[in-house]
């Protein structure tokens, strides 16, 4: 049995502070002797005071030792950023001599009963993972919504991860952190989905790993087809007749959580009671005031919003990274990425950079098509075609 401190942490920008508070309070309620750290990839609100919070520690993402952090952050959306720092954070906490076990929990999770069985499992295994699904789906809608979705986004839900401070745990953290530093993007067509798809490989790489199939943990809308939630907040929650320990309110702000509940548990009074409780709990922690707060890395130096198209193009072009080492700066138009981007839009006749979603994807596609058309119209391209044609004729003779 390992002795030492058990650390729980979550990773957020300041708009998720209300949810992180609800999570931390639930952890401390069941594990009062544990240490809860808040990892913040942002500046805290002006009225933030650690001694008045349910957190034991505030860790700035800039303290994790990531080289050129502001520039690195620019290349990531909010979700990409908050997931990319998780690997370095595990290394940061495991480097402490008195740390025996480290748990990551997404900010939109709530602990409803002690996680002691999982803490104890880290005495036998160095890595604990929870899969999105533990049983095959039976109807086509659920196959599409859950199984195919898991194939796109990752077999394991990285809203939960637990590592022991052992050689195996540290090796996992080193590998995962290295991948996230360079390849933590929402790029499903490119084979990536933030931090999750990488961990599909983990059972192949690491022997000292357990896949937690217990239905009491990481219950969410994607696995409700095989998890029957009952009981009440007052008398205790159950899942498949046993104690419910960890629930994941994923998709809450987007409306996806309510949509999935309507589809898969429309008559389950317990789940709807939990949803109403969670809305109230987050509101009491400042959801209305903080929920739409922009992050410190959301805008260029001139106040213009940084769109995903800005980020994707910058991170895909080493020449741009070299030309604009501070992509936020707009003071000198000759050294400003924003000014360069605006000029390129005008030159190529493109619409202004769109926001996230389909319109942003269309914008990126239009940009690359226009850039490709420029290449095809260049003298260098025509010369290359002539050389290629000559080479083909020589091969034929």
pLDDT value of position 78: 94
Considering the domain boundaries, does residue 296 fall inside one? Answer: no
Strand 127-129 and strand 160-164: the pairing is: antiparallel
Listed range (3-17, 151-165, 249-263, 301-315) with the worst mean pLDDT: 249-263
In terms of domains, do 48 and 169 share one?
Answer: yes
For residue 393, being part of any structural domain is answered with no
**Nearest residue to 285 via CA among 25, 38, 35:** 25
pLDDT at residue 345, as a whole number: 83
Does residue 132 sit in the same domain as residue 225?
yes
Rounded Cα–Cα distance for residues 183 and 171 (Å):
18
pLDDT at 349: 65
What residues contact residue 397 under an 8 Å CB cut-off, 6+ apart? none
Does a structural domain hold residue 372?
yes
Neighbours of 203 (CB within 10 A): 15
Domain of residue 374 covers 308-383
As a whole-number percent, the residues of the chain with pLDDT over 70 amount to 89
pLDDT, residue 363, reads: 52
Is 303 a member of any domain? no
Are 146 and 268 found together in one domain? Answer: yes
Residue 354 has a pLDDT of: 54
Does residue 322 register a pLDDT over 80?
yes
Instruction: Say how many domains are in the chain.
Output: 2
In this structure, the answer to whether residues 29 and 60 fall within a common structural domain is yes
SS3 192: strand
CATH number of the domain enclosing 105: 3.90.550.10
The answer on 175 and 145 residing in a single domain is yes
Instruction: Give me the pLDDT at residue 396, please.
Output: 61
pLDDT band at 357 (very low <50, low <70, confident <90, very high): very low
* Mean per-residue pLDDT, 255-274: 92
What does pLDDT average to over the chain?
A: 91
Residues 278 and 314 in one domain: no
DSSP state of 131: B
pLDDT exceeds 60 at position 361: no
Is pLDDT above 50 for 10? yes
Decide: 248 and 159 in contact? Cβ < 8 Å.
yes
Phi, psi of 36 (to 5 degrees): -110, 120
pLDDT at position 374, please?
A: 56
Q: What pTM, to 2 d.p., does this model score?
A: 0.87
Q: Does residue 394 fall inside a structural domain? A: no
Return the pLDDT at 364. 55
- In a shared domain, residues 229 and 363: no
Higher-scoring residue by pLDDT: 89, 356: 89
Task: Enumerate long-range contacts of 91-97, CB under 8 Å, 24 or more apart.
Answer: 91/64, 91/170, 91/173, 91/174, 91/177, 92/59, 92/63, 92/64, 92/65, 93/7, 93/9, 93/37, 94/163, 94/165, 94/169, 94/170, 94/173, 96/5
CA nearest neighbour of 122 among 94, 150, 152, 102: 102
Q: Among 64, 65, 82, which Cα is nearest to 73's?
A: 82
Are 230 and 366 within one domain?
Answer: no
pLDDT in tens, 186-207: 999 999 999 999 999 999 999 9
Residue 181 pLDDT more than 50? yes
The confidence score (pLDDT) of residue 391 equals 67
Whether residues 125 and 179 fall in one domain? yes
In a domain, 189, yes or no: yes
The token duo for 373 is: 């058309």
pLDDT at 358: 44
Shared domain for 271 and 172, answered yes or no, is yes
Mean pLDDT, range 48-58, rounded to an integer: 97
In the predicted model, is pLDDT for residue 135 greater than 60?
yes
Asked if pLDDT for residue 359 goes beyond 50, the answer is: no
Domain-embedded: residue 358: yes
In a domain, 300, yes or no: no
CA neighbor of 345 nearest in space, from 355, 357, 353: 353
What value does the mean pLDDT take over residues 301-325? 94
- Stretch 112-121: mean pLDDT: 97
Over residues 364-388, the pLDDT tens digits come to 555 555 555 556 666 776 777 777 7
* Mean pLDDT, range 10-37, rounded to an integer: 97
Regarding whether 208 and 286 lie in a shared domain, the answer is yes
Helical (H) or strand (E) element with 140: helix 140-142
pLDDT at 227 over 60: yes
Mean per-residue pLDDT, 74-85: 96
Write out pLDDT tens, residues 84-106: 999 999 999 999 989 999 999 99
Single residue among 290, 319, 352 that ends a domain in this structure: 290
Last-in-domain residue among 260, 290, 320: 290
Give residue 222's Cα distance to chain centre.
17
Q: Quick one: pLDDT band at residue 237, thresholds 50, 70, 90?
A: very high
In three-state secondary structure terms, 129 is strand
- SS3 of 394, please? helix
Are 187 and 286 part of one and the same domain? yes
Stretch 49-67: mean pLDDT: 96
Residue 230's region, left for phi above 0, alpha for psi from -120 to 50, else beta, is beta
């Amino acid at each position: 049995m390992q002795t030492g401190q058990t650390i729980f942490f979550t990773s957020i920008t300041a708009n998720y502070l209300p949810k992180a508070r609800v999570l931390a309070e639930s952890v401390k309620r069941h594990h009062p002797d544990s240490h809860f750290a808040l990892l913040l990839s942002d500046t805290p609100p002006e009225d933030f005071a650690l001694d008045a919070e349910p957190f034991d520690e505030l860790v700035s993402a800039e303290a994790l030792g990531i080289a050129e952090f502001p520039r690195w952050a620019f290349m990531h959306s909010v979700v990409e950023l908050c997931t990319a720092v998780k690997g370095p954070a595990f290394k940061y906490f495991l480097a402490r001599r008195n740390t025996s076990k480290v748990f990551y929990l997404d900010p939109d999770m709530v602990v409803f009963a002690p996680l002691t069985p999982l803490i104890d499992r880290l005495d036998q295994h160095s890595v604990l993972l929870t899969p999105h699904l533990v049983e095959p789906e039976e109807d086509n809608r659920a196959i599409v919504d859950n199984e195919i979705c898991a194939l796109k986004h990752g077999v394991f839900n990285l809203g939960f991860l637990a590592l022991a401070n052992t050689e195996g745990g540290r090796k996992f953290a080193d590998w995962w952190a290295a991948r996230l530093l360079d390849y933590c993007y929402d790029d499903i067509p490119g084979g990536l989905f933030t931090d999750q798809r990488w961990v599909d490989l983990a059972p192949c790489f690491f022997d000292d790993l357990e896949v937690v199939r217990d239905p009491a943990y990481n219950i969410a809308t994607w696995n409700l087809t095989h998890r029957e939630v009952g009981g009440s907040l007052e008398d205790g929650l159950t899942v498949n007749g046993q104690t419910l320990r960890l629930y994941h309110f994923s998709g809450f702000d987007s409306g996806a959580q309510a949509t999935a509940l309507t589809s898969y548990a429309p008559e389950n009074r317990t789940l709807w009671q939990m949803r109403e409780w969670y809305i109230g709990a987050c509101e009491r922690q400042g959801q209305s005031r903080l929920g739409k707060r922009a992050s410190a890395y959301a805008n260029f130096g001139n106040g213009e919003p940084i769109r995903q198209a800005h980020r994707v193009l910058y991170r895909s072009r080493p020449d741009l990274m070299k030309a604009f080492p501070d992509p936020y700066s707009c003071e000198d138009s000759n050294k400003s990425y924003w000014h360069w981007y605006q000029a390129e839009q005008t030159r190529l006749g493109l619409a202004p950079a769109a926001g996230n979603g389909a319109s942003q994807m269309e914008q990126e596609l239009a940009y690359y098509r226009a850039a490709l058309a420029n290449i095809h119209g260049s003298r260098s391209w025509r010369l290359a075609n002539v050389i290629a044609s000559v080479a083909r004729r020589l091969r034929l003779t």
